[in-house]
Structure 1
Amino acid sequence: MHKLSKILCLGYEVFTDTLDKVPKGKKIVVNTINQYSYCIAEKDKQFKKSLQESDILLPDGIGIVVAVKWLLGKKIKKIAGADIHEFLLHRLNKDHGSCFYMGASKTTLNKIEARIAKDYPNVKVGSYSPPFKKVFSKEENAIIIKEVNTFKPDVLFVGMTAPKQEKWSVKHKEALNVNGPICAIGAVFDFYAGTVKRPNKTLQNMGLEWFGRLLKEPKRMWRRYIYYGVIFSGYLIKAKLRPSYTA
């Protein structure tokens, strides 16, 4: 298997390779990191451990791209959860593969399945809508795992809020019968279903996707992008002043 390119920044090995290097037929956990998740992980040891134990940790945020450039002088490309979702669906369609969506409401999952049938007709799709709660019981986790394992997907997409989805993916990796990536991609479920519109390509390419989301949902997103943006800037300054903290 190709050795994946990564760069160590702020205590995390961030993926710097191209998506075509994501291995096939190998069970791996793919998570994402951005300024918000970094800040939350600094206060949540289990979340931090889950991110650090990811097989692939995508730089899903301009804040991480800027951090790598400012602290290490390296240029990396932002890779959003939506990017790997699209890439894997293209690959599965070409290979006549299968994927399973775990998370979100049944309504959202139905919309996802209907769209995939149109966009990627060669992909076999399964899904399960778990209970909407902060923590699953042992019995609920057993049911979720059984649903996934009965389907035996080539790719598992996990769509719950952070940090729940990242913790769940890492914790249950070994119990899941998945023949490929286990991807915690959160909001992508809503983007693809069309229940939430992703900011346009111009903003994405300019590194301003966060601004587009802020404008659309200011009450929900201001804390994530403004408040935690300031907090994250503080961590960067601290790391710049104390180089040993960067790693």
Structure 2
Amino acid sequence: MNKVKILNLEIDNLSKVEFLDTLQSGVVFTPNVDHLMKLQKDPEFVQAYSVSNYKVCDSQILLLAARLLGTPIREKISGSDLLPAFYTHHQQNESIKIFLLGAREGVAAQAQQNINLKIGRNIVVGSYSPSFGFENNDLECQQIVEIINNSGATVLVIGVGAPKQEKWICKYKEQLQNIKIFMALGATIDFEAGNMKRAPKWISQIGFEWLFRLLCEPKRLWKRYLIEDIPFLLLILKQKLNLYLTKDYLKKNSKDKRHSWHTAGKY
């Protein structure tokens, strides 16, 4: 499969149509700039990414970076576009049964209702909105595993923010034996529930979806977009000049790591 290397991550270079036709099983992550920056300093996140079978581009800025590096990516496939495309693609496929895990109380259930009404059948067979900090609670995580296993779902869509969602899949996927497809899709459940507005398409196309989201959720996102993600531009320049060394970043930051993944990320 054609892949594009950006920093320490290889991204699958597929169109959305090709991807939907290809996706029969496996783990799907949707990297963006924030993911790439976390992958520079979090070895556990790197480990979680190692279990993914598909990494599809969820950022117009990554598209521009890939073009600058001389290895263009064919299409942006954001999580918020992927889920509706996926359930529409499988509208008549009775073997596809989706479980939604994420968002605040009642939001996943609303997304389940909205999707099923849109599709005309119960393609979403279950939903669960975990408590804040659920990833620290082994009992709740085991209850979630049991709920998913008892739901009959074959597809898990988890949206609790990165790196929580990717690490949760990495930790519990082997216990979810009926799940064939795992998708970590961030705020997509909120979008499907109508709980959060998406950026207008023209804003997304010019690479300013991050600014739209920042204006919608400044308290939660200001640090990510205005501090943590800014060094991405310098790293891309280093890669362009063949000065970027993955192992140096991971080695340095693994020594400087201050807290575990249980406290990282917020949804």
Q: Which amino acid aligns with 1:233?
A: L
Matching residue of 2:138: 138
Contact 2:135 2:141 in 1 (8 A): no
Distance in 2 between residues matched to 1:221 and 1:129, nearest whole Å = 21
Distance in 2 between residues matched to 1:229 and 1:138, nearest whole Å = 31
Deviations 1:83-131 (A, max 9, x none): 2111111123231331001122331022112211321122242112222
Matching residue of 1:68: 66
Q: Cα RMSD (Å) of the superposition? A: 2.2
Report the CA distance between 1:180 and its aligned residue.
Answer: 3.0
Distance in 1 between residues matched to 2:161 and 2:218, nearest whole Å = 18
What are the ranges of 5 or more consecutive residues in structure 1 without an aligned counterpart?
none
Report the CA distance between 1:244 and its aligned residue.
Answer: 6.2
Matching residue of 2:34: 36
**Range moving further from structure 2, 139-148 or 192-201:** 139-148
User: Would the alpha carbon gap of residues 52 and 64 (structure 1) be closer, same or farther in structure 2, given more than 3 Å must change?
Assistant: farther
Matching residue of 2:106: 107
Matching residue of 2:91: 93
Matching residue of 1:81: 79
Q: Which amino acid aligns with 1:58?
A: V
Contact 1:103 1:130 in 2 (8 A): yes
User: Would the alpha carbon gap of residues 141 and 75 (structure 1) be closer, same or farther in structure 2, given more than 3 Å must change?
Assistant: closer
Matching residue of 2:204: 204
Contact 2:115 2:192 in 1 (8 A): no
Deviations 1:3-59 (A, max 9, x none): x43223212120211234344542x11112111121122111101221243111121
Matching residue of 2:52: 54
Distance in 2 between residues matched to 1:129 and 1:222, nearest whole Å = 25
Residue pairs, 1:97-246, within 5 angstroms: 97-122=96-121, 123-133=123-133, 135-242=135-242, 245=245
Distance in 1 between residues matched to 2:208 and 2:244, nearest whole Å = 30
1:19 aligned to 2:16?
yes
Matching residue of 2:5: 8
Q: Which amino acid aligns with 1:132?
A: F
- Percent identity (aligned): 30
Contact 2:155 2:181 in 1 (8 A): yes
**Range moving further from structure 2, 219-228 or 52-61:** 219-228
User: Would the alpha carbon gap of residues 236 and 146 (structure 1) be closer, same or farther in structure 2, given more than 3 Å must change?
Assistant: same
**Range moving further from structure 2, 151-160 or 17-26:** 17-26
Distance in 1 between residues matched to 2:243 and 2:70, nearest whole Å = 10
* SS of residue in 2 equivalent to 1:219: helix
Scaled by the length of structure 1, the TM-score of the pair is: 0.88
What are the ranges of 5 or more consecutive residues in structure 2 without an aligned counterpart?
248-267
Distance in 1 between residues matched to 2:61 and 2:39, nearest whole Å = 15
Contact 2:30 2:56 in 1 (8 A): yes
Equivalenced residues, count: 243
Report the CA distance between 1:199 and its aligned residue.
Answer: 0.7
Q: Which amino acid aligns with 2:79?
A: G
